[in-house]
Structures are given as C-alpha cells and as structure tokens.
C-alpha cells in the first residue's frame, strides 16, 4: 500500500509518545516505520526542496530509533543505562544542536500578504527600530508572535524576513530537536535554547509545527509534556521587554486549534497573525517569480492562470510552475528541439497539481482566525 502522510503521522505520533514515556522497546519499530514511510513520500515528491526536508526528517527519526537501541540493548541496559544516558544529556551543550542563521530574506521578497506584513511591522518591527518612541508610549519590545494558517503560505519566509528586518540572529528549532535529542530532559533543552538566544544582542527564535511541542494538555498526557509546556510558558513570561536585548519568539502552525490555550494568553503569544492563502494579486506575483526566469511562450496568460488557481497556496503554485517546466525539458532530453514553456504546459500542470488545502480546511482556518486573532 502506498505511503500516506496520515500513516506517517500516526506512526510518528505513536513512536514519540512511547519515547516520551521511556518505553524505548515500543518506540523503536514505530520510529523506523515512520522513517520508511517518510522516505517513500520523499521519493514521490516532485519538489526538490520539500524532498530534501522529508529525507532529513526521515534521517532524524532513524537516528532516534538507533538511540532506542543504545538505551535498550547496551550491556547493563535498563535503569543503569538510562542513568548514564541522563548524565550525558545533562552535560550536552546548546551549541551541539541549536542552529543559528543570519537570513537575507526581506518582506519585499514575499509575494502579497501586505496586510500580514503591516501587522507584523506594527507589532514586532517598529518597536525594535524606534525604541525611544516605543518607551515613550509604553510599547513593549519583542515578545511572542504566532503565525498560523494553511501549509505552504509563507510562514517560514515571514519569520526569516522578521529576523532580517531587525538584523537579528535567527534560531531555527523544530519540536523534534527539543524532544528527541535528549528525551527526558526536554525542559532543560527549552531553557538552554532561550539562554542561548538571550545571549545575542538581537535574536529571533523560530519554531515550526509548534503544536507538537505545546499541545493541549490532558490528564493522559505524558509526564514529559506536562513539564515542557510550563517551561516554555515560564520562558515566555521571562522576557525583559523593556530592554533592547529582548528577543522575539515566533511560532508557526498549521493546526492552531491543537495548541494549549495557555500559550495564547497575554504575556505569551501576545500577537496572533493569520497567514491566509494568497489572493489574486499575490498569485500573479508568485507566477512572475516562479516562471519569470524561465523561457515562456508568447501565449502564456498570467491573468488566466491566476483565475484558475484560486485556493492554491504559494507552495502549490511553485509546484505547478516546476511541473510545467518539466514537459519541454523531457521532450528536449528525448531529442526534440528545445522549446519555450507554453500555456498548455501550465494548464496541464494545474490539472495535475490540485490545491493542497481543501475548502473545508480553509473554512476552519477562517473561523479560528475570526475568533482568536
């Protein structure tokens, strides 16, 4: 049976749940199966960037499965082996796993989303650029901001643009890194992350899929998660927002309704910004970006393409343009005379690449935004 994302998610969730409970024997097969599933999905992915991300994630899961082997199968395994592992974990340095970046993406590089950009400028960037005015009017500098919306709408690029606009060091962390590198010490990893960020003059912590790290807590939740969520809340409340060394914490999610409500209260994610599917103007700009440097036939009508891709995300449009380009490319490889990308190629690609966000899902985002933004 072909691999599906739903199957991958089910296996991954079971593996991580067992891992958080310290049941390494049960966690290992789930993690291996999830990795194999992700590898199969990557092989079927036409987008090279997304394929590389999927392959990297599969590698992380396989490494995590191997760590289960070491905990369970090491000589003298069991409680003593776990104690040795904990000693190693407690001594791990943040530099071993925290990734720092200096992005060069600016808001001008992001197609459309003008309302979103303006909201972020007002809430995050202007206070940084005008600290005297911010202090005069009692405006806090830094803080938490949640970017939510359908997948493929540019949330990661927005986070990078924020870091660029304020000339900050960006810390890019995934929930898997927090939870999987040193399982059982996840709350210490959260503390180390924030300490490293606070040591920089200006810093932006960006965490995608944050709902995996701060989910709704239930009585049946693992003891690890019960400790991690309060640790994150404590760090968010510990911002020195009056100082120019204050940091920004940007979280992104495709499932805002899965977040613990506590993270959305004042003093934590003070600002929530909805990143919607691109409108017509943004889709036009996206087509300009993704086909503008490719050889285009005279019959290509961007306005018509915009009309036919209502409901498409930016990632969907990028995939359409890439797929359209493969048609004349493969013909040329087979020996035909090289030709330009025609309107027929783009229309065929639209037929082959349906929108990744369904109408019901889109409506769910709109409703959540209306009640929570």
pLDDT digits (tens, 9 = 90+) for 106-127: 888 888 888 888 888 887 788 8
CA 93 to chain centre: 24
Choosing from 228, 261, 277, the residue where a domain stops is 277
Both 178 and 236 in one domain: the answer is yes
Who wins on pLDDT, 221 or 253?
Answer: 253
pLDDT over threshold 90, residue 308: yes
Strands (E), the chain: 99-101, 143-148, 169-173, 203-207, 248-253, 271-274
pLDDT digits (tens, 9 = 90+) for 11-54: 888 888 888 777 777 787 788 878 878 887 887 777 777 777 78
Both 242 and 108 in one domain: the answer is yes
- The pLDDT value recorded for residue 145 is 84
Both 180 and 273 in one domain: the answer is yes
Q: What is the CATH number for 233? A: 3.40.50.300
Report the C-alpha dihedral over residues 353, 354, 356, 359, rounded to 10 degrees: 170
Residue 363 lies in a domain: no
Both 157 and 40 in one domain: the answer is no
pLDDT over threshold 70, residue 331: yes
Distance CA 319, CA 323 (A): 6
- The pLDDT value recorded for residue 94 is 53
Report the C-alpha dihedral over residues 22, 261, 118, 315, rounded to 10 degrees: 50
Six-digit token string for 353:
């690449």
Give me the domain span that covers residue 26. 5-90
Both 235 and 346 in one domain: the answer is no
Both 169 and 226 in one domain: the answer is yes
User: Could you tell me which residues are beta bridge partners of residue 249?
Assistant: 144, 205
pLDDT digits (tens, 9 = 90+) for 217-251: 654 344 555 666 677 767 766 555 555 555 788 88
Both 322 and 186 in one domain: the answer is no
């Amino acid at each position: 049976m072909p691999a599906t994302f739903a199957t991958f998610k089910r296996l991954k969730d079971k593996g991580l749940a067992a891992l958080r409970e310290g049941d390494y024997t049960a966690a290992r097969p789930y993690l291996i199966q999830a990795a194999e599933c992700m590898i199969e999905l990557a092989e079927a992915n036409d987008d090279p960037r997304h394929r590389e991300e999927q392959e990297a994630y599969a590698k992380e899961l396989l490494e995590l499965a191997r760590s289960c082997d070491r905990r369970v199968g090491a000589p003298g395994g069991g409680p003593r082996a776990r104690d040795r592992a904990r000693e190693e974990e407690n001594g791990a340095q943040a530099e071993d796993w925290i990734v720092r970046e200096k992005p060069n993406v600016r808001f001008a590089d992001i197609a459309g989303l003008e309302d979103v950009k303006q909201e972020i400028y007002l809430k995050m960037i202007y206070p940084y650029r005008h600290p005297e005015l911010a202090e005069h009017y009692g405006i806090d500098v830094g803080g938490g901001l949640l970017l939510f919306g359908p997948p493929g709408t540019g949330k990661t690029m927005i986070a990078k643009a924020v870091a660029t606009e304020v000339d900050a060091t960006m810390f890019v962390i995934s929930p898997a890194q927090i939870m999987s590198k040193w399982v059982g010490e996840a709350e210490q990893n959260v503390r180390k992350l924030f300490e490293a960020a606070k040591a920089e003059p200006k810093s932006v912590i960006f965490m995608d899929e944050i709902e995996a790290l701060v989910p709704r807590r239930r009585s049946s939740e693992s003891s690890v998660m019960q400790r991690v969520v309060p640790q994150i809340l404590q760090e968010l409340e510990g911002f020195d927002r009056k100082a120019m060394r204050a940091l920004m914490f940007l979280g992104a999610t495709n499932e805002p309704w899965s977040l613990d409500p506590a993270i959305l209260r004042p003093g934590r994610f003070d600002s929530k910004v909805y990143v919607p599917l691109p409108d017509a103007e943004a889709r036009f700009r996206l087509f300009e970006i993704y086909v503008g440097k490719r050889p285009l036939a005279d019959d290509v009508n961007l306005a018509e393409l915009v009309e036919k891709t209502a409901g498409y995300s930016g990632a969907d449009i990028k995939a359409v343009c890439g797929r359209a380009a493969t048609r004349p490319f493969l013909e040329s490889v087979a020996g035909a005379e090289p030709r330009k990308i025609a309107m027929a190629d783009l229309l065929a690609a639209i037929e082959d690449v349906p929108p990744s966000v369904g109408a019901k899902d889109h409506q769910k985002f709109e409703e959540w935004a209306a009640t929570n933004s």
